[in-house]
Structures are given as structure tokens and as C-alpha cells.
A and B are shown apart, each in its own frame.
Chain A
Amino acid sequence: MNQVAEPKISFISDSYEEKICDARLSIIGQNFAEIVHELRNPLAIADGFNSLILDHAEDKNLVSAHSLSIGKALTRVSDLIDQIYRFSRMNQTEGHEIQNLNQIVHDSISFFAWKIKKQKVVVRTNLTREDCLFLGSQMAIETVLANFLSNSLDAFKGNYTDNRTLTFKTSIESGNYAVLTYIDSAGGMSPAVASRLFDRYFSTKKGWRWLGNWHGISR
């Protein structure tokens, strides 16, 4: 008699959810230029006040330390906005220009820094000092690294190991190839999963998440 009727949402299939999430992410992507503009204004104001704050401080040592922290945080937010903006621009996947593999690795790690820290994952880098240059699209290769990182971080969630490590290496092989080596300790894949890894529409993730974090935005 007192049973509360559960909302009947079971008719909503994964594909329906996928379409909604896809549409919402696409809308964010399409409007991100305006969002970036709105975000940059208060950042510039905060940065301006932060640079003036020392002039009015009584305890300059104390305020200087706080001001430095605020400056770092503002720079981090500004970098993130720039990265998301670049990530969301469709036409940048088409251009092929000279790219530095080391820079792409650095930017990709920075993009996921918060998530990496939250999951207590250790990132190791061993990047060659040589120019690791190739022709291609920065956005496309960042998408590759985002896929690697996203998959590893998802795998770490269900993997209660103390060894949560991601390793990035770059090198020049025989003067002919710029090589990226990405290593995770996230538990690996079963032979069944590994054999289907590059199959279209194959994923071990449930629901719309198989589309990937940036599917809608990167369109």
C-alpha cells in the first residue's frame, strides 16, 4: 500500500541516452568559443587584482605567498580553458602541420592532471631531448593520448593496486621514426578484449561512456 512507485525510465535505451549526451556535448562544443570569452573576463580581472594586491598589503611576505598560489591557480585555469577550446575546434583535426611529440605529451598530461591527482596515479615521463617532430594534427594526436589516458584511468578505478603508474616515453628510432611509448599498470586486457580492441563500436564501457569523453565536443 505504501510502496512508492519507482520512476519508469527503463524504456530509455542506451542509444537514446547516447543521442542525448551526444547532442548536449555537441552543443557545448559549438558554443565553447563564447563560453571561453565569458570565462576569460573574470580571469583577467582576478589576475589584475592579484598583481596589485602586494602594493596594498601590510604583511608582504604572507600576501606574496598567497598571491603566488592564486597566480598559479589562475594560470592553470587559463591553460585548461585554452586546451578545451583547442580540443573543441573541429577544423584543427584536418590540418597537418609540424608537431612536437614531446609538447603533445606534455599538454595531454596537463589536461588530465586533476583526474590523475585525484586517482593518486603516478606519471613518469622519459622524453627525448631531441626534436621529436612529425607532420600531423595536434588535436588528432591529443585525442589518441586522451583515449589512452581515459581508458587507463577508468581501469584504475576498478583495480585496487598500489602500483598506479602511467609512463610516457618518446624517442627517435633509427632516425626515421618519432616513437611514443605509453605504459600503464592498469591490469591489462583479457585476450578476448585485446583481440577486438580496434573493432568499430566495441567497448567494455557501459552505456554512452563508450563514446569517449570528448566524442560530442570534438565533432
Chain B
Amino acid sequence: MALVDDIIKRHNAYMSFKTEEGVGTVFEVRFPIYRQNNVKLNLTLVENDTDE
């Protein structure tokens, strides 16, 4: 799951989870939504993260 965390960060996304032993788990992942006018900004951020 460390890889999952890495992928999520490289997408400028956020992940949270709740788990209850004996019941189940809920994961929520929030991706910045794509809009025509923020393509440039998001691409720049992703490229910076990828360079780590």
C-alpha cells in the first residue's frame, strides 16, 4: 500500500480510510477535478512531484 500512497501523492490527490475490525474498510480518494483552465497548473505540479 506504500505504492498506492505514492501514486496518490503524485496525482495531487488525497486519500483517507476508515476501518472497523470484523466489519470492513472504506477508502476515499479525492482527485483535483479536471477543468479546461487549470490543465497547465496541474501538469506543473505533477511534474514537480515526479522529479522527487
Residues of A within 8 A of B (CB): 94, 96, 98-99, 101, 132-137, 140-141, 143-144, 147-148, 151-152, 172-173, 175-191, 194, 197-202, 212
In the bound complex, CA of A148 to CA of B8 (Å): 13
Closest CB in chain A relative to B48 CB, distance in Å: 12
Among the listed B4, B11, B27, which residue makes an inter-chain contact with A181, where contact means beta carbons less than 8 Å apart? Answer: B27
Name the A residues within 8 Å of B42 (CB-CB): 96, 135
Instruction: List 7 tightest A-B contacts by C-beta distance, closest first.
Output: A134-B31, A133-B34, A177-B30, A185-B24, A200-B2, A198-B5, A188-B19
Name the B residues within 8 Å of A151 (CB-CB): 1
Name the A residues within 8 Å of B2 (CB-CB): 198-202
Contact A188 to B11, CB < 8 A, known contacts A133-B33, A134-B32, A135-B34? no
Name the A residues within 8 Å of B30 (CB-CB): 173, 177-179
> Is the Cβ of A178 less than 8 Å from the Cβ of B31?
yes
Interface string of B14-40 (1 = CB under 8 A from A): 000101111111111111111000010
> Is the Cβ of A172 less than 8 Å from the Cβ of B11?
no
Closest to B24 in A: A185
> Is the Cβ of B27 less than 8 Å from the Cβ of A188?
no
> Is the Cβ of B21 less than 8 Å from the Cβ of A188?
yes
Contact A147 to B1, CB < 8 A, known contacts A141-B11, A188-B21, A188-B23? yes
Name the A residues within 8 Å of B23 (CB-CB): 185, 187-188
